[in-house]
């Protein structure tokens, strides 16, 4: 039954995408929407094909690289920080408000600061993506680490389990579903952070191309870049979901 249900879920998702694609294709003509606002979907795909070898493909690679490296840094830092805070309650109480405050600063404010300090290369974009993505990973993983059942913890103590063995054999495996939940949120933040950081100053990437396309009223290219960003988000989300199935086969609520 589970396999049949998942098949229907995929069919429903594909059907929703098909409906949205049809609306995008025909709604501009039906409602006489000006072309500088939106163009039919077929023209967007045509523009993607035309521009792909003229810079769009390379821009997609640059943004993809910023996202993947930024997410990797966010994962490593968030994973390590969550373990540190879970093991030290006074430190957790001291740093938790700082973590929350760090997320109250909008990306459009911190991105120009890093661009001024580090230039227009890839480094400031990767840092902005990492800063934007580490918080969901840290908070969700920390929640999982600190929510382990007390009886299981006591059982480890009766088996002479050290704090390290309890962490490795009990707390981390129990917290893996929460870790992947945080990763799924982070992969949605990553493209937004990368795009905004490219907006503030860059030499490549989808945000850089979008800045050029908007004054030229190239609506098809702008929407094409939006589609690519959405596709990258879906791709990253799918990869995380597959990894979750491999790492957490016992988690039936994913």
What DSSP line would sit under the chain, residue for residue?
-HHHHHHHHHHHHHHHHHHHHHHHHHHHHHTT--TTT---HHHHHHHHHHHGGGTHHHHHHHHHHHHHHHHHHHHHHHHHHHHHHHH-HHHHHHHHHHHHHHTTS-HHHHHHHHHHHH-SSHHHHHHHHHHHHHHHHHHHHHHHHHT--HHHHHHHHHTT--HHHHIIIIIHHHHHHHHHHHHHHHHHHHHHHHHHHHHTS-SSSHHHHHHHHTTTT-HHHHHHHHHHHHHHHHHHHHHHHHHHHHH-TT-TT-
- Low pLDDT (below 70) residues in the chain: 1-6, 150-157, 159-161, 251-254
Indicate whether 2 belongs to any domain.
Answer: no
Note the pLDDT of residue 34.
87
10 domain-assigned? no
Q: For 235-246, how does the pLDDT look when each residue is reduced to its tens digit (9 = 90+)?
A: 999 999 999 989
Q: Can you give the pLDDT at residue 250?
A: 75
Q: For 16, phi and psi rounded to 5 degrees? A: -65, -40
Angstrom distance (rounded) from CA 70 to CA 124: 10
Which of 52, 50, 194 is CA-nearest to residue 114? 194
Residue 36: inside a domain, yes or no? no
Q: Is residue 28 part of a domain?
A: no
Q: Is residue 105 part of a domain?
A: yes
* Residue 79 lies in domain: 47-247
What pLDDT sits at residue 164?
75
Q: For residue 91, tell me if it sits in a domain.
A: yes
pLDDT of residue 121: 86
Distances (CA, A) of 151 to 155, 163, 188: 6, 15, 36
Tally of domains within the chain = 1
Q: Which two tokens stand for residue 96?
A: 């938790």
The answer as to whether 134 is a domain residue is: yes
Position 168 scores a pLDDT of 76
Number of CB atoms found within 10 A of residue 27's CB: 13
Contact 20, 227 (CB under 8 A): no
CATH of the domain at 126: 1.10.3720.10
In this prediction, residue 2 carries a pLDDT of 56
């Amino acid at each position: 039954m589970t396999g049949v249900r998942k098949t229907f879920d995929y069919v429903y998702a594909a059907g929703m995408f098909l409906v949205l694609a049809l609306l995008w294709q025909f709604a501009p003509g039906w409602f006489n929407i000006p072309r500088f606002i939106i163009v039919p979907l077929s023209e967007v795909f045509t523009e993607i094909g035309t521009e792909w070898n003229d810079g769009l493909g390379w821009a997609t690679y640059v943004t993809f690289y910023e996202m993947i490296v930024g997410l990797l840094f966010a994962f490593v830092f968030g994973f390590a920080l969550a373990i540190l805070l879970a093991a030290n309650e006074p430190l957790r109480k001291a740093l938790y408000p700082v973590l929350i405050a760090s997320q109250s600063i909008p990306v459009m404010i911190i991105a120009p600061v890093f661009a001024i300090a580090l230039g227009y290369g890839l480094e400031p974009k990767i840092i902005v993506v990492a800063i934007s993505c580490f918080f969901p990973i840290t908070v969700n993983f920390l929640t999982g680490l600190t929510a382990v059942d007390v009886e299981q913890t006591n059982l480890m103590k009766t088996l002479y389990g050290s704090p390290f063995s309890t962490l490795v054999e009990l707390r981390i495996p129990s917290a893996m579903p929460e870790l992947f939940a945080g990763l799924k949120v982070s992969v949605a933040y990553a493209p937004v952070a990368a795009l905004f950081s490219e907006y503030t100053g860059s030499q490549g990437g989808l945000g850089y191309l979008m800045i050029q396309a908007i004054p030229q009223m190239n609506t098809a290219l702008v929407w094409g870049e939006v589609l690519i960003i959405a596709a990258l988000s879906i791709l990253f989300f799918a990869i995380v979901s597959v990894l979750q199935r491999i790492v957490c086969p016992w988690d039936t609520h994913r």
